[in-house]
Structure 1
């Protein structure tokens, strides 16, 4: 069976799940669609993991996640390392902070029990190791106390994350009231229904994450037009002619810019200009993966992952592009439909 290459996914995440009933119950998983996956864990949709199926622990909540993985395989690799930090080869032996002394019957080390603190500490560690430290990842927190625990660890850990790693928060704008210490009174089903707030709630957290390519629509449209009409011109980095269809060409993601360059030229241009270069003399010569920088034509900010998403969509995602750019036919109004009907009858 031949595996067809796919474009970089619109979204792939590794998430931290916590039981809202018992906060010590935690689960780590990966998914391209966090809202759907959470519904599976909570039994609203078929699927989910056996470990999250106990009714006594539901509902579950996603308190944090890491996004920006370039493929499902990449996310699964990170998920496995975060779930098994005691044996992951991505973590150097001298840096390991999770250990296990017990063994299974087959001789393998047992997975040590995890806490929110240990997960956050190992997450911080994995984001620093050579295997992942230059991936285009982004960390999200959706619970204030979890983010506070993260900040506390970051403040005490001497090894710092790279400056270009983005950490964001998005907390519930209307959190439920704290539970009363008194024994709750039993209510009828009708009383519960009457007390339910039917006002539409503002979307937040995982509900706001883009699970498709819609945010890239204008970028994809621009690139499609430039390359279909062969307006790529000369490379904006090396200034050499770029013959149509004879190389991997990358276009600036900024709306008003049509700057195009060779893939290798963009890479060389962006590597020396990373913002974590504190001495201003370029990065380590071992770095081969850019993160972000400035477009040499419009001087606007560009992110390497955005440009690679567009490039892989153009090269491998014909169906995804067609779906993204497909124009919907406007619905006929009732008056127009009636007029058309009357015209047919006459």
Structure 2
């Protein structure tokens, strides 16, 4: 059966779910669409998980997530490791922060009780192990208390995260407050309805953030403006090999995939084969390997996605005026 080749997805996440009724109840999951998945967990849409179906624990909220996974398989691996840190082979036994002290009836280790500090400490650990440390990941927090817990752990951790993993926060605006009406239904204040989207509802679910980069790549190769490789300075032949375009605005630096990789790994003392970040030889601006790979896979494998992203909407022609309207003029 042939392997389906797809571009790097616009968004794929591993999230931390917490019951708003009982904060000790947590759930780890993965999804390309956090708002839709949250609706499923809360019973507002079909789907969800059996562990989150108890009405006594609803509604649930997503208090944090990790984004930037290159695909579903990668996200599922990270999800399982975070949900099972006492079993995951991604964590060396000597580095485990969570250890099972009980066994199930079948003899397998029993999952230890979880807490938000336990989840965050293992999250910090997984973001540093070789299996995941070089992926283009980003950490998001949507609850101030959970973020404070994260900061407390980071202050005591022996090793920091690598600098290319950004940690961003997007907490509920003060204007967004809910009240309960006489029928017991939740209603949102007028100020809340006018507030900006926040948290998971502000995450881009499509390729819009890379639209300019994608458009530039399409123009460069369609009109054969590749020129010479910005690294080795040899000619780039259209249609022969894999070519990468600088992601910085105003720069059309193009290079061979292998040349870009070697250039970005040049100052790295470790024997890594996967770059993380570096600088464009042409514009000298900082570039992220993950951003350039997303554009490359879209250009090679995402024809329909690119057409949808770059499609220009036609302006509607004004309706002809009626005789009475023309007379008024």
> Is 1:69–2:69 an aligned residue pair?
yes
Which position in structure 2 is the counterpart of 1:17? 17
Question: For 1:208, which of 202, 207, 211 is the aligned residue?
Answer: 202
Aligned residue for 1:78, secondary structure, equals: helix
Which position in structure 2 is the counterpart of 1:248? 242
- Report the CA distance shift for 1:115/1:325 in structure 2 as closer, same or farther (over 3 A): same
Question: For 2:310, which of 306, 321, 325 is the aligned residue?
Answer: 325
Question: For 2:189, which of 197, 206, 219 is the aligned residue?
Answer: 197
Displacement after TM superposition at 1:284 (Å): 2.8
Displacement after TM superposition at 1:2 (Å): 1.9
Displacement after TM superposition at 1:227 (Å): 0.4
Aligned residue for 1:125, secondary structure, equals: helix
Distance 1:101 1:38 in 2: 32
**Mapping for residues 29-178 of structure 1, pairs under 5 Å:** 29-174=29-174
With 237-246 and 40-49 compared, the bigger mean Cα shift is at: 40-49
- Report the CA distance shift for 1:55/1:250 in structure 2 as closer, same or farther (over 3 A): same
Displacement after TM superposition at 1:188 (Å): 2.7
Structure 1, unmatched stretches of 5+, are: 180-185, 273-281
> Is 1:292–2:280 an aligned residue pair?
no
Aligned residue for 1:334, secondary structure, equals: coil
Displacement after TM superposition at 1:43 (Å): 1.3
Which position in structure 2 is the counterpart of 1:279? none
Displacement after TM superposition at 1:218 (Å): 1.5
Distance 1:50 1:333 in 2: 53
- Report the CA distance shift for 1:24/1:192 in structure 2 as closer, same or farther (over 3 A): closer
Distance 1:205 1:259 in 2: 35
Distance 1:178 1:331 in 2: 40
Displacement after TM superposition at 1:192 (Å): 6.6
- Report the CA distance shift for 1:110/1:237 in structure 2 as closer, same or farther (over 3 A): same
> Is 1:271–2:256 an aligned residue pair?
no
Write out per-residue CA displacement over residues 25-65 of structure 1, whole angstroms, 9 at most, x where no aligned residue.
10000001111111111111111111111111111110000
Displacement after TM superposition at 1:177 (Å): 6.5
Displacement after TM superposition at 1:4 (Å): 1.2
Equivalenced residues, count:
322
Distance 1:176 1:322 in 2: 37
Distance 1:335 1:145 in 2: 58
TM-score w.r.t. length of structure 2: 0.93
Distance 1:137 1:33 in 2: 16
Displacement after TM superposition at 1:90 (Å): 0.3
Distance 1:333 1:111 in 2: 65
TM-score w.r.t. length of structure 1: 0.88
Distance 1:200 1:319 in 2: 34
Aligned residue for 2:194, secondary structure, equals: coil
Which position in structure 1 is the counterpart of 2:215? 221
Which position in structure 2 is the counterpart of 1:236? 230
Distance 1:161 1:317 in 2: 32
Displacement after TM superposition at 1:243 (Å): 0.8
Poorly superposed stretches of 4+, deviation over 4 Å: 175-179
- Report the CA distance shift for 1:237/1:143 in structure 2 as closer, same or farther (over 3 A): same
Displacement after TM superposition at 1:331 (Å): 2.6
CA-based RMSD? 2.1
Distance 2:131 2:7 in 1: 21
Aligned residue for 1:250, secondary structure, equals: strand
Distance 1:196 1:254 in 2: 41
- Report the CA distance shift for 1:308/1:192 in structure 2 as closer, same or farther (over 3 A): closer
Displacement after TM superposition at 1:320 (Å): 0.9
Write out per-residue CA displacement over residues 66-106 of structure 1, whole angstroms, 9 at most, x where no aligned residue.
01111110000000000000010000110011111222222
